[in-house]
Structure 1
């Protein structure tokens, strides 16, 4: 058999970017680390000494396995038109590019369709073998656990079945180099024994009893999570949540404060669900969405003949919420006349339908919400001071998303799962670079805006793939940061803005988004980010205001359905 040669790795080197300005290193959309081998060796040695060689091997093998699987996901998007072996070689070439080991193929047979795999490779300069030898001396058994995990994880993901690699020679055992052989797990006589090192099982079961006791003691102190409708564990979120818990069992009027989109109605619904009124109705009213001349009839009801068009008596929201909770959103937009009636309902528990002189008793717990400064509205005469003091008994401030970025990962993972189910997709999640773009965004629309962004990402991302930065249509500054790449001779190339833009273009082309849809989404997203200001959005996009306005009208007109 002739020498097996790798394809040129220029396509892989283009994926590695060094962003000195923000201290990040990227492999395509995946965040990477450049760290001292001696630090990894110290961690490895500490694991071996603290939990024992067998448990340490499990942990390190699983670490490598996860890394290999992640590179296999990346490999699916590279060299799509080449033969299976050249496509497979993305893994060994990335393993070398990442600095783990030099990989030389001895022989390889791949048939993805039938699941056949047989491969043998030589490893030289293995960091694990070198540093294990330094720390513990020559070993009786092979020690390249993390790298065996990588080879098995990568190949298993690439083949779509469990492929187990074993180290048949190891430089730490006295050989001149390491040698690995891989084939489907069932083809190894002892495959089941070795496969246990790759299982994502509970590591606590393998820890010494003293270490397990320490973990168990810490677990006992973990607080109960918030209900599924409320997602977060940051300090500011927990403060709001704990205030809500204390109010849930009472009848106090709660005022939810916060910007648009922070989830005030969601808090109100959870407050209702956790209260003694949970089996009674929860009725929500958006005071800003009801015309001023109709809000009294909507809230308090109307008697037949009270005004033109009132052909029948009708109960209002207060009566419909009898025994339960009435959520008044945007209470700061309520007209003054309705405010007077609302004050009476809160103080006396009585209402009068429009056109009726009879009072009706109501048993309703009111939860109000606003994104305006009610104290300022009182000074300006837009809000009654007596009503302000009545609804401001128990205020809860719900923090904006930009002040609770510690919750971003949990929110994103939950939303990806939600929209996967809604759209019949199986998207893995948001890539590291995509998450960086999410983290850098200001979030003027808060959690509601995040929901829209993630839903769009789930729709655009490929099945079994990841939501990448270009799927999110957020600020391009986060994507087009000043970065450096690796040249053919291993040097960093400074100021690779053009290369980064080229990479972005390649990603957009791979996504299959039509040009017109991309342009339309880019314009609309920019306008949304500028708060609807067409002039500012046009300046960001490098076009005139009339031109942007015309294009937006044209696309809206084309998208409008026929009557």
Structure 2
């Protein structure tokens, strides 16, 4: 039995196994034969693991930035844990490549890999390992260290260990092989080499390893920074729940064409008509126009003309005097007065009644409104932004929309592109919505998996940006804290498939397949056979959306394709109509 003395600690080993240089060379060559380059695909493989080449100067710059940002101690801990993870990965790789080799040989593969991967030249002096018994002892010499050279280039010659990542790698590799934590420490550090000892944690004296062990425990500072960031974001979103200009993101040509027109219009008072399908983000563009204009300090007032009953639309737009009609117990201003010195957004303007269209035209011409039941005209200074998801020219030809009003609104038409025409914006929009709803939910979501992003890029988006936002909101809710959103969190029902699901009920063009179409037809037939009124169907959908959203009015409104204000109006109207 041999005895070794190291700093007053007696280490006993049952055998001293020295390493044959020829055997070591043969082992490295065998591992090197498993290294292959795929130049056309940009891949480097070691066995089945993908690797990378990294400039030493780039690594040194990263090391310095970590030290400057987090401090030397935290930077050392981060790199040590990074090396530990790399060592564990190599241990798993070696177990797969060499399932039947003896214990000492499989342990020696670690130093060989460490050398092959360019970290450091490793010369094992003693390796004593018995995996079954859980016993281990090794002594190695490090020289020509990649990490040491990078450290010296940035910080100069300093006393103490510099192989932070290397120490983590050696500890991770042997721990992965031995199935127990085996700690390596640099016990001698010289300018051109270091001597390391590796032993199971139980074989080290507590005083020896206390300093080293702290680098293997994650530092709470990163979590603290992220938590503070989430609190700041949460406060920011709590100020205004409605959509903000920050939701307007994109870089595609179709998006930039529309956005450039909005930017040019912002400097003037010109009336803007936003055209596009439902859900493309017309209100977001309207808000962006308002915030970029000289009226940004004024109010932005939005009204969905199609969401208000015809008998109330004029009162909502122009205001009402007390006693103007049954139930008008108080005088109140309309949307035009509330938007004075600001911007009025008229969404789905094509849904206005003929009477409302006539009064709207007068307001645009005269710059004044008359409340219902009043003869007094009130001056208003309002910037009008209108929106429609139908062809207003066709509505004019059919007699459903006034020609003179169309010409007053159509001074600067802006076509907002559907999401299928700006697919390169999907990653930007998804990242924005992940950030937004992670803050709202108080979670830290690490983005989307590659498979989830591929599914989003392949989908046809019949519901446009609104559908994407709803989907990401659901994904954030269902994803685990700290993890990424998977495709299963996004597409939950057969009516929302990915392109990878050929048997699903929506095709790649966003159209219902026959199976889904039959389901819809069955529901409609059932509703008609019961003689359900339209109001009953609307109430059923609203109740279902509120239940699914857990009572969250904003989330339910998005499911129903309407604004929060529209849904609250319907709920309020329903409550008012309920019997006492």
Q: Secondary structure of the equivalent of 1:260?
A: coil
Matches within 5 A, 1:45-64: 47=55, 54=60
Instruction: Confirm whether residue 417 of structure 1 aligns to residue 435 of structure 2.
Output: yes
Deviation (angstroms), 1:347: 1.8
Q: Matches of 1:185 and 1:406 in 2, distance apart?
A: 52
Partner in structure 1 of residue 89 of structure 2:
91
Partner of 1:436: 454
Aligned 8 A contact 1:302 1:316 in 2: yes
With the length of structure 1 as denominator, give the TM-score of the two structures: 0.56
* Match in the other structure for 1:537: 516
Contact 2:303 2:345 in 1 (8 A): yes
Distance in 1 separating the partners of 2:354 and 2:252: 38
Deviations 1:258-285 (A, max 9, x none): 2211221122222222222222222111
Which of 372, 377, 402 lines up with 1:354 in the alignment?
A: 372
Tell me if 1:282 matches 2:280.
Answer: no
The answer to whether the 8 A contact 1:301-1:317 is kept is: yes
Which stretches in structure 1 are left out of the alignment for 5+ residues? Answer: 3-32, 73-87, 109-118, 134-138, 174-178, 193-198, 200-225, 482-500, 502-521
Deviations 1:188-210 (CA, angstroms, capped at 9, x unpaired)? 69x99xxxxxx9xxxxxxxxxxx
1:263 alignment counterpart: 281
Shift of 1:364: 0.9
Tell me the residue number matched to 1:141: 144
- Residue in 1 aligned with 2:397? 379
The TM-score, its normalising length taken from structure 2, stands at 0.55
Paired with 2:102 and 2:61, the residues of 1 have a C-alpha distance of: 30
SS of equivalent to 1:387: helix
Question: Which of 35, 40, 49 is the aligned partner of 2:43?
Answer: 35
Report the secondary structure of 1:289's partner residue. Answer: coil
Larger RCO (alpha carbons 8 Å, 6+ apart)? 1
Whole-angstrom distance in 2 between the partners of 1:275 and 1:153: 61
| Structure 2: distance between partners of 1:338 and 1:558 | 32
Q: Aligned equivalents of 1:235 and 1:320: distance in 2?
A: 36
Give yes or no for contact 2:456–2:498 (8 Å, CA) kept in 1: no
Partners of 2:436 and 2:249 in 1: how far apart? 13
Q: Deviations over 1:51-97 (max 9, x none)?
A: 688559999xx9xx99x97x97xxxxxxxxxxxxxxx9973466569
Please, which runs of 5 or more residues in structure 2 have no aligned partner?
A: 1-12, 15-40, 66-74, 122-141, 151-164, 177-181, 202-207, 217-221, 223-243, 527-536, 552-577
CA separation of 1:545 and 1:104: change in aligned 2, threshold 3 A: farther
1:445 and 1:466 map into 2 onto residues whose CA distance is 24
What is the match of residue 474 of structure 2? 456
Closer, same or farther: CA 230–357 of 1 in aligned 2, 3 Å: same
> Per-residue CA shift, 1:363-420, capped at 9, x if unaligned?
1111111111111111211111111111111122222222222222222222222222
Separation in structure 1 between the aligned mates of residue 382 and residue 170 of structure 2, nearest angstrom: 58
Which of residues 258, 261, 271 is equivalent to 1:253? 271
Instruction: String of CA shifts for 1:147-198, please: whole Å, max 9, x gaps.
Output: x699769969x99xxx999999xxxx9xxxxx99999998569x99xxxxxx
| 2: CA distance, partners of 1:376 / 1:92 | 67
- Residue deviations 1:310-358 (CA, integer Å, cap 9, x gap): 3333321111111111111111111222111111111221222223333
SS at match of 1:454: helix
Whole-angstrom distance in 1 between the partners of 2:414 and 2:185: 58
Corresponding residue to 2:360 among 326, 339, 342? 342
CA distance in 2, matches of 1:180, 1:424: 43
Partner in structure 2 of residue 122 of structure 1: 110
Aligned 8 A contact 2:299 2:343 in 1: yes
Output one character per residue of 1:200-248: Cα deviation in whole Å (capped at 9) or x when no partner.
xxxxxxxxxxxxxxxxxxxxxxxxxx95242223332222222222222
Q: Which of 259, 263, 266 is residue 241 of structure 1 equivalent to?
A: 259
Q: Does 1:404 align with 2:403?
A: no
SS class of match (2:481): coil
Instruction: Return closer, same or farther for 1:227/1:546 CA change in 2, 3 Å cut-off.
Output: closer
Aligned pair partner of 2:291 in 251, 269, 273: 273
Residue 69 of structure 2 is matched in structure 1 by none
Give the equivalent residue in structure 2 for 1:295.
Answer: 313
- Separation in 2 of the partners of 1:398 and 1:103? 65
Q: Quick check: 1:228 aligned with 2:207?
A: no
1:142 and 1:167 in contact (8 A); partners too = no
Helix, strand or coil: the match of 2:429?
helix
Q: 1:104 to 1:545 in 2, by over 3 A?
A: farther
Indicate if the aligned counterparts of 2:313 and 2:356 stay in contact, CA closer than 8 A: yes
Aligned to 1:312, the other structure's residue is in SS state coil
Measured at CA, do residues 269 and 92 of structure 1 come closer, stay the same or move farther in structure 2, by a change above 3 Å?
A: same
Of structures 1 and 2, the larger Rg is shown by 2
- Is the contact between residue 251 and residue 425 of structure 2 (CA under 8 Å) also seen in structure 1? yes
Equivalent positions of 1:322-337 (< 5 A) are 322-337=340-355
Instruction: Report if the CA contact (8 A) 1:469-1:479 is conserved.
Output: no
SS at 2:311 equivalent: coil
CA deviation map 1:475-509 (0-9, x unaligned): 5554458xxxxxxxxxxxxxxxxxxx9xxxxxxxx
Q: Number of paired residues? A: 405
2:491 is the alignment partner of 1:473: yes
- Distance in 2 between the 1:340 and 1:237 partners? 34
Secondary structure of the residue aligned to 2:390 is: coil
Aligned equivalents of 2:401 and 2:312: distance in 1?
Answer: 18
**Whole-Å Cα distance in 1 between the matches of residues 209 and 525 of structure 2?**
61
Provide Cα deviations, 1:115-163, integer angstroms capped at 9, x if missing partner: xxxx986155789659999xxxxx9724599xx699769969x99xxx9
